[in-house]
Amino acid sequence: MIECIRFHSVLPFDENVKEEFISEIWGGAIHRWRGNITPDIKARIEKEIATFEQVDGYMEYLYFVWRVVYDSGYYIMPYRTLAHASAVCYALEITEVDPIRLGLDFNRFMQTDNPRFVEIGLATNATKTQIQTEIMNLYFDKDRERLGERELDEKAPALTIYPSQRTAQLLGYFSDKVNFAYIPFDDRETFYTLLRSNDLTGVYGCNDGTVLQEYLTQAKPHFEDLIPLCTASIIDYPTNHIYISRKYGVAWEPRFTPEIEMILSETCGDILYNEQVYAIAKLVGYTPSEAEAFRKVLTARKKQEYNNHRRRFSKHKGLLRKLINEGSWSFPKAVMAEFTRLVYLTAYLKTHFPEEYTRAALCVAASDDYY
């Protein structure tokens, strides 16, 4: 079991702080999208803020998460979280994948029609003692009780931090040397490493002779092309090769309405992402929260509940069966986008800093235990 530490917010948060925090969100958005705040980006951020404000204490919680990420002297990265689907979290540099560019559905993080408190997890290269001491020094007065002595309500929402996480340790080694935010995601040398190299040792997700290493030889030099490839490589159902075969050879024949085929076109007719399940469910009349409940039925393979959904799909012959067969194995695209970023990022470091990367990888034994 991976050790973690949970912290409750101890920072003052009144209306003035909230107003300043929202200004920080917009300032971060201007920086992230380099001043090009399109109407879609503006609407997305406004919608997310409005959703967060409906959940009691969530803006305060998000403020605390941001402060920890911003104030810490250690390397901190998102860990075991769906916050990658949030444009606000991206603007605040809590997450590192652009949800607008990648078309990530915010509802995978928090349902807009029935928002509930969603915790965010972080990982750090610091040890448990180091991160506890730092947060204690940053946010606690000397006369206040120490973190280790506080009796925390385990059921209350909290920030979860995983200390000494291996990937965070590896990236932390380079965090003072490389600005990860400015690494190009179309670097030909990096793609050559991923697509042609026989030695991917230390590259995230490519250890132990994984299927991913074999699939990468089929990819083309585009980051977006790597995401479904990485997803297909780790899905453990018998037809996980369907995407690969269709992407690089066998054509597929449309079976459903143009609207549904448009959703499936991103993955060549295969269902790889939770977000595709959501989009299809909404097309047949589900609300975001109903779509989440439907996804849970599929993921849990609750066969006794399948019949409850047949009426909704009655006009689309074979669609429910496809969702049961493929959608039940799907992954959140938000999670797989971050997984792919780490694959690419470690390949970039291995390509451009080979000696340093080898030393760092040997020291921390970088592995694919991120999710």
pLDDT in tens, 109-122: 999 999 999 999 99
286: DSSP letter: -
Q: Are residues 124 and 271 in the same domain?
A: no
Confidence category of residue 237, pLDDT binned at 50, 70, 90 = low
pLDDT in tens, 323-340: 998 888 889 999 999 999
Domain C-terminal end among 164, 196, 231: 164
Number of domains, the chain: 2
Confidence category of residue 236, pLDDT binned at 50, 70, 90 = low
Confidence category of residue 229, pLDDT binned at 50, 70, 90 = confident
Average pLDDT, integer, range 137-144: 66
Q: Are residues 126 and 264 in the same domain?
A: no
Confirm whether 39 is domain-assigned.
yes
Give dist(CA 160, CA 216) in Å, integer.
33
Q: Are residues 252 and 160 in the same domain?
A: no
Confirm whether 362 is domain-assigned.
no
Average pLDDT, integer, range 220-249: 74
Confirm whether 172 is domain-assigned.
no
Answer yes or no: is pLDDT of 77 > 90: yes
Starting at the edge strand that comes first in sequence, how are the strands of the sheet with 76-78 ordered?
Answer: 5-7, 159-162, 121-124, 76-78
Highest mean pLDDT among 12-16, 155-159, 224-228: 12-16
Q: Are residues 142 and 263 in the same domain?
A: no
pLDDT on residue 15: 96
Q: Are residues 35 and 153 in the same domain?
A: yes
pLDDT in tens, 274-293: 999 999 999 999 998 899 89
Domain C-terminal end among 118, 142, 164: 164
291: nearest Cα among 124, 106, 22, 100: 106
Q: Are residues 13 and 118 in the same domain?
A: yes
Confirm whether 334 is domain-assigned.
no
Among 86-100, 101-115, 240-254, the least confident range? 240-254
Among 11-25, 185-199, 233-247, 264-278, the least confident range? 233-247
pLDDT on residue 365: 64
Residue 270 · residue 263 · CB < 8 Å:
no
Q: Are residues 27 and 144 in the same domain?
A: yes
pLDDT on residue 147: 45
Confirm whether 233 is domain-assigned.
no
For residues 250, 254, 260, 266, the Cα torsion angle rounded to the nearest 10 degrees is 20
pLDDT on residue 333: 94
Q: Are residues 141 and 22 in the same domain?
A: yes
Sign of torsion over alpha carbons 330, 331, 333, 338: negative
pLDDT in tens, 151-191: 445 556 789 999 989 899 999 999 988 988 888 988 989 88
pLDDT on residue 155: 58
Average pLDDT, integer, range 90-94: 97
Confirm whether 106 is domain-assigned.
yes
- Which residues are 290's β-sheet partners? none
297: nearest Cα among 279, 283, 310, 284: 310
pLDDT on residue 153: 53
Confidence category of residue 47, pLDDT binned at 50, 70, 90 = very high
Give dist(CA 332, CA 70) in Å, integer.
26
Q: Are residues 18 and 139 in the same domain?
A: yes
Residue 115 · residue 133 · CB < 8 Å:
no
Domain containing 57: what range? 5-164
